Amino acid sequence: MGMTVEQLMEKIDGQIDAKLQPLIDKVGEVDNKLTKIPQEKKEESEKLPWSEVCNRVALIAKAQIYRDPKALDALAKSDWLNETTGSEGGYTVPVEFSTEVFRLVEEYGVARRGCFPVPMKSATKKMPSGLTGVDMSYIGEGEAKPLTKPSFGIVELVARTAAGISAMTRDIIDDSAVDMVAYLTRLITESLAKREDTSCFFGNGATILGIANTVGVIPVIASGATLAGVTANDLNKLIYAISDAAARGASFYCNRGLVGVLQQLQDKQGQYIVQKPTEGAPASLWGFPIITSDAFSATPSAGDVVAVFGNLRNCYFGQRKELDILPSDEATLGVYTDGKLTDIVSAYQKNMRFIRFEVRHDFKPALASAFAVLKLATS
């Protein structure tokens, strides 16, 4: 008597199960043994007091920029240097130093605090971006379940180099009554934080698009063509321009000038809508925080983006190389005017020191529709 297809498949399944059972038992034994091995707990590093962070950053700057051996010795004695490879090698900024420097940057930068960090081991890295989810539908008794699956896109992070050069004479370094280390440290961190914020929200004008210029980000047009013409209703539209899921953990990002406009809004009874003058709490609208960044222009033109709404965790922050501090007493520096080389300055000849600061990173939204931007009207 012949077998039906169902019976044949059942027999085949039984034979396969019989063959695989010894292997399954063996894997189970190994798994049981592994679960009995105590797991190592990763020790969490203690968070340093803010004053100590600033002090260590100052020592880093002295050791690296000024070639100060005393600063290097102080770091070594405080167990901050795992090893020293001579007077030159010892001035290289280790990863743990960069970590402390960037703790300073995080005090200024919105993007570094909020975006999803992605370490990059090479110049490029591909990351998934969600396009569609899984749809569920009701079916009748005995009906086939509809096939549904999520679809994903790919976001490619490409490390871009951001760099700047500071030039100073040795006379200033030796004779200045100002704490040049503290001054330079603040300039570096503020400049880096602003560069990261600008790249995150608006790009770099070429290779990094930024949230505002990414295709798929949802635009909302403001009521007026100036900051003064922006209303609370305009910002309310941003909230509902994106999905509920995207709005979880979202914030408004804008310049302080727009916050000033919003703080002046009053209802018909003369009560302030956003924040009373006597309130010290951070401003918020409908439960969503308002976070300011100098990446947004204080004097925007008609058609410019003046606010972004969304959760920055939905934006990738590719990190290829953290801060490098590269001083030189012998380099030459080209001076450009209107894009043309007009002079060449020699550090050695002019008794100067050039200090180059460099990072490599990229910013890309994981899902463009998770963000909405408010643009000023064009007329």
* Mean pLDDT across the chain: 76
**Which CATH number characterizes residue 295's domain?**
3.30.2320
pTM of the shown model: 0.69
- pLDDT at residue 237 is higher than 80: yes
pLDDT band at 235 (very low <50, low <70, confident <90, very high): very high
pLDDT band at 2 (very low <50, low <70, confident <90, very high): low
Q: Could you tell me if residue 27 is inside a domain?
A: no
- Evaluate whether 108 touches 190 at the Cβ level (below 8 Å): yes
Q: Encoding tokens for residue 92?
A: 């290289």
pLDDT band at 151 (very low <50, low <70, confident <90, very high): low
- Lowest-confidence segment of 90-104, 127-141, 143-157, 285-299 by average pLDDT: 90-104
Q: Could you tell me if residue 323 is inside a domain?
A: no
132: alpha, beta or left? (left if phi > 0; alpha if psi -120 to 50): beta
How many folded domains does the chain comprise?
1
Q: Could you tell me if residue 224 is inside a domain?
A: yes
State the pLDDT at residue 328: 77
State the pLDDT at residue 321: 80
Q: Could you tell me if residue 229 is inside a domain?
A: yes
Q: Could you tell me if residue 250 is inside a domain?
A: yes
- pLDDT at residue 287 is higher than 50: yes
Q: Could you tell me if residue 223 is inside a domain?
A: yes
State the pLDDT at residue 36: 45
Three-state SS letters, the chain: CCCCHHHHHHHHHHHHHHHHHHHHHHHHHHHHHHHHCCCCCCCCCCCCCHHHHHHHHHHHHHHHHCCCHHHHHHHHHCCCCCCCCHHHHCCCCCHHHHHHHHHHHHHHCHHHHHCEEEECCCCEEEEEEEEECCCCCCCCCCCCCCCCCCEEEEEEEECEEEEEEEEEEHHHHHHCCCCHHHHHHHHHHHHHHHHHHHHHHHCCCCCCCCHHHCCCCEEEECCCCCHHHCCHHHHHHHHCCCCHHHHCCCEEEECHHHHHHHHCCECCCCCECCCCCCCCCCCEECCEEEEECCCCCCCCCCCCEEEEEECHHHEEEEEEEEEEEEEECCCEEEEEECCEEEEEEECCCCCEEEEEEEEEEEEEECCHHHCEEEECCCC
- Lowest-confidence segment of 164-178, 237-251, 252-266, 349-363 by average pLDDT: 164-178
- pLDDT at residue 247 is higher than 60: yes
- pLDDT at residue 87 is higher than 60: no
State the pLDDT at residue 37: 45
- pLDDT at residue 245 is higher than 50: yes
Over residues 309-349, the pLDDT tens digits come to 999 999 999 988 877 777 777 888 888 888 888 888 888 88
The mean per-residue pLDDT over the stretch 34-47 comes to 47
Over residues 207-218, the pLDDT tens digits come to 999 999 999 999
The mean per-residue pLDDT over the stretch 44-67 comes to 65
Q: Could you tell me if residue 253 is inside a domain?
A: yes
- pLDDT at residue 42 is higher than 60: no
Q: Could you tell me if residue 112 is inside a domain?
A: no
- pLDDT at residue 1 is higher than 80: no
pLDDT band at 291 (very low <50, low <70, confident <90, very high): very high
Domain of residue 288 covers 215-312+368-375
- pLDDT at residue 185 is higher than 90: no
